[in-house]
Structure formats: structure tokens, C-alpha cells
Amino acid sequence: MQTVNIILDTYSALITLILILYLWTNGKTREQSGRYFMLICMSNLGMVLGDIGSWAFEGMAQPWYPFALRFGTALNFACTAPLLLTFLGYVMAFLTPKVAFKKYIWNAACVLAAVQFLFSVLSLWNGMYFDFSQDNLYRRGDWFWLSQLIPFLIYGTSTTLILRYRRYLDSRDVLFLLSYVVLPLVGEAIQFAYYGIALTGPAATFSILLIFINIQSKRELLLKQQEKELVEARIGILISQIQPHFLYNTLTVIRQLCDLDPKQAKQAIGDFSLFLRANMGVLESKAPIPFSQELSHVQYYLNLEQQRFRERLRVIYDIGPKDFQIPPLTVQPLAENAVRHGIMRREEGGAITIRTEETDTSYRIVIMDDGVGFASLPDPSEGEQRVGIRNVRRRLEELCGGRLTIDSIPGRGTTAAIILPKEKEGKRL
């Protein structure tokens, strides 16, 4: 049985050590609950290592074996104090966002844990918890019952908190947290009744592993929720680029063209479908695209607007270099702002010019209109325009280190310029 106990404790130590290394190397101890869980693992490692020593060196006659046996036994008993205390702290940290605890609960547990630790150390001299025969054999001390009562009291406190506030926990959280109470207590009860069977350490380790699995599964669910929110945010960007009034007006124009000019209606439907496809593609795009692709998307949009506004909207393309990359949906929102907030606010309409330029260090895309202009950047009441400009700036900065400048003169128009730095030898200038 001695060999079996050593094997069980060794496996428990290895599992706990792996968990500690994982938590340490992956930065899982930033939150308070994570730090408590790390301390639980460290205390458990000390407890099972001490248990290995108490079993491995019992009854051996070599000169230093009595010291190894006594040290291992004291370590096993002493580590139960921080183990119990940190588990209670973990439970309280787990519930703290929703529950405010009285300080006396933690203070009382600290006192009990301190007594357990102190008496475990003193037992090396007075034999309160444990003693050893002349043959280097372990014996339970007269106060051994107290070493079992204190863990029971602290475990009872943890159990009470879990059950009392279970409405704030998922059913899985309740189950896995209680496993750390039930399994070690069952192992300890068996060990108390039948000396020679070491089950407390393996039972506690198994419970820690269950809690770790639960933590990881919850983090996986959180990551999936964050991915869902990211998709929703990207869809929000898409919706901000395809306004309902634009869809309605475009479909109205197409319906009218079906009666007046079927050929133009067919062309408008083609432009509209390609425009929508490009907008949907931005949801899957995580990298810049060729400028020619973005330019085609702008042309689809402006073609549709020209079908609607006719002679009030003139479009001039002065395209020079176009062999470069650009984040998707960066030029089209600026062209849309030029049409909606610049040109169409003039009764006679106006012209929008899209031009590309190249310097030694950068490419420039200029979107210029001769609309009403403005004295300053859009105020908060111009929500859609402000959001569109902010999205363009963010994508330019994050995807290619680019920037956006906007200059406007009231009554004369607005010029928006996208500056994209060139890359040389793998580095952005």
C-alpha cells in the first residue's frame, strides 16, 4: 500500500506542477481569482510532496531518514492551512462581483488557518498532531482530531457560501466548486478511519483539475462571445456604410428605370449587386486590398448616385498610380460624404473628383468636391458622418499605418486625402 500511495501522490504532484506552469506562463494570475487559484495549486503541491516524503522514508533506518520523514509530515500538515484559506479566498473572489462579504468571515478563517499551521510546526517537538516511534514510524498525536476539525470548519464555511449564493453561479460552477469540498473530505474521512490509505492529496488534486477544466471552458465560451460581439461590431460598420435611405432610394431609381430605360435598369442592378457584394466582403477582410478593387467599389456607388441625381452629380476620375494596397471601404465612405454632405446640399449640385498621386515616400488618394464645405469637422449632431470618418481613420492606422486629412472651405468644397506610406525593404517609411 505504501508504494501505491507514493505513486498516487507523485501523479498528483506532476498534475499540479503542470497547472502551475501553465498558469504562470500564460498570465492567468492577473485577476484576484486567478491568483487564488495559483496559490491553491502551490499549496496542494506542497501538501502532496510532503505526503510523498512521509510515506517514502517511514521505517527507514538510515541516519537522515528520520529528518526527511518529520519534514515531509510537517509539510503535509502545514500546507493544509494555506490550501484551505486560499480556496475560501477563491470562492469569495469568484462571488465578489455580485456579493459583499463581511470581514469577520475571512478573519475567522485566517485565525483557524494560522492555528493549523502553527500546531503543525509545533508537532515536530510536542507531538500534538503527529509523533514518531523509535523505529521511525509515523503515529497520530493526541490532538490529531483537531488537525481534521479545522479543515472541516473552513471547508464548511466555503460550502455555506457556495450554497447560500448559488443563485449567482451557474449550475456547473456550483458542481465543480463543491467537488473541491466533497471529494477531499471523503478522502480525508476514509484516511481518518483507515490509516495507511492516502486519498486526501489525490482527491484534492482531482478536484483542482475539475475546477481548472471549468475555468477553461468558461474562458472558451467568453472568447466565443467576444468573437460574436466582434462580428456584430463589424456588421455595425457595414450598416453604417449602407444606410437604409440609400438602399430605398437606389431601389426606387431601379424601379423607375425598368419602365423608362430597361438597359440602364439592368446596368444599375449590376452596379447595385456588386456594391453590396463589396460591402459584405469587408466582414471577412482582415488585410488591405488592391486599390483597383476599392476603386471599382467606389465606381459602383457613384454610378448608382448618378442614376438618381442625373446632371446634378458629375464625377471626374484622375487616376494615376494604382498599384498599391488599401484597407477596404476607406475611399467609398469619403465619396459618400462628398455626395451627401457636400454636393447634394447645393441646389445646382456639383462635381466630385477622385485622384491618385505618388511621391517618393507615399501614395495619395484625393477625394475632392465643390460642395457647400464646412468651417470645422462635423459636430456630434452629424453622427453618421462622424462615425464614417472615425472608422476610415482607424482602419488606415491599424492596417497600413496610413492617415486621413480633411480640409474644407465653406461655400467652396472639401478635400479629403488618404496618405499611404510606401514600404521599402520590409519596413514602412
CATH code, domain with 135: 1.20.1070.10
Gyration radius of the chain over CA positions: 36
Q: Are residues 78 and 212 in the same domain?
A: yes
- Choosing from 155, 187, 221, the residue where a domain stops is 221
3-class SS letters over the chain = CHHHHHHHHHHHHHHHHHHHHHHHHCCCCCCHHHHHHHHHHHHHHHHHHHHHHHHHCCCCCCCCHHHHHHHHHHHHHHCHHHHHHHHHHHHHHHHCCCCCCCHHHHHHHHHHHHHHHHHHHHHHHHCCCEEECCCCCEEECCCHHHHHHHHHHHHHHHHHHHHHCHHHCCHHHHHHHHHHHHHHHHHHHHHHHCCCCCCHHHHHHHHHHHHHHHHHHHHHHHHHHHHHHHHHHHHHHHHHHCCHHHHHHHHHHHHHHHHHCHHHHHHHHHHHHHHHHHHHHCCCCCCCEEHHHHHHHHHHHHHHHHHHHHHHEEEEEECCCCCCEECCCCHHHHHHHHHHHHHHHCCCCEEEEEEEEECCCEEEEEEEECCCCCCCCCCCCCHHHHHHHHHHHHHHHHHHCCEEEEEEECCCEEEEEEEEECEECCEEC
Q: Which residue has the higher pLDDT, 60 or 93?
A: 93
Query: Could you tell me if 360 and 321 are in contact, meaning their C-beta atoms sit under 8 angstroms apart?
Result: no
Q: Are residues 172 and 282 in the same domain?
A: no
Residue 409 backbone phi and psi in degrees, to 5: -125, 120
pLDDT for res 358: 92
Q: What is the average pLDDT value for the chain, to the nearest integer?
A: 81
Q: Are residues 313 and 412 in the same domain?
A: yes
Residue 25 backbone phi and psi in degrees, to 5: -75, -20
Q: Taking the model in full, what pTM does it have?
A: 0.52
**% of the chain beyond a pLDDT of 90:** 16
- Choosing from 173, 188, 221, the residue where a domain stops is 221
Joined together, the cell numbers standing for residue 161 give 457560501
Residue 226 inside a domain? The answer is: no
pLDDT for res 426: 37
pLDDT for res 356: 95
Q: Are residues 200 and 247 in the same domain?
A: no
Residue 370 backbone phi and psi in degrees, to 5: -110, 40
Q: Are residues 378 and 290 in the same domain?
A: yes
pLDDT for res 236: 56
Residue 236 inside a domain? The answer is: no
Residue 206 inside a domain? The answer is: yes
Query: Could you tell me if 138 and 54 are in contact, meaning their C-beta atoms sit under 8 angstroms apart?
Result: yes
Question: Into how many domains does the chain fold?
Answer: 2
CATH number at residue 391: 3.30.565.10
- Choosing from 221, 250, 278, the residue where a domain stops is 221
pLDDT for res 107: 92
Q: Are residues 353 and 269 in the same domain?
A: yes
Distances (CA, A) of 122 to 108, 238, 292: 21, 70, 81
Residue 411 inside a domain? The answer is: yes
Q: Are residues 331 and 419 in the same domain?
A: yes
- What lies within 8 Å, CB to CB, of 429 at 6+ separation is 361, 362, 421, 422, 423
Residue 234 inside a domain? The answer is: no
Q: Are residues 359 and 424 in the same domain?
A: yes
* pLDDT, tens digit, 9 for 90 and up, residues 172-220: 888 888 887 778 777 777 766 666 677 777 888 888 888 888 777 777 7
In the predicted model, what is the mean pLDDT of residues 352-371?
A: 93
Quick one: pLDDT band at residue 59, thresholds 50, 70, 90? low
Quick one: pLDDT band at residue 382, thresholds 50, 70, 90? very low
Q: Are residues 193 and 255 in the same domain?
A: no
Query: Given a cut of 90, is residue 415 above it in pLDDT?
Result: yes
pLDDT for res 318: 94
Q: Are residues 197 and 255 in the same domain?
A: no
* Residue 264 lies in domain: 242-428
Q: Which residue has the higher pLDDT, 11 or 281?
A: 11
Q: Are residues 308 and 197 in the same domain?
A: no
Residue 57 inside a domain? The answer is: yes
Q: Are residues 137 and 56 in the same domain?
A: yes
Residue 235 inside a domain? The answer is: no
Query: Given a cut of 70, is residue 1 above it in pLDDT?
Result: no
Query: Could you tell me if 352 and 338 are in contact, meaning their C-beta atoms sit under 8 angstroms apart?
Result: yes
Quick one: pLDDT band at residue 78, thresholds 50, 70, 90? confident
* pLDDT, tens digit, 9 for 90 and up, residues 262-318: 888 888 888 888 777 766 665 555 578 899 988 988 888 898 888 888 889 999 999
Residue 209 inside a domain? The answer is: yes
pLDDT for res 352: 95
pLDDT for res 315: 94
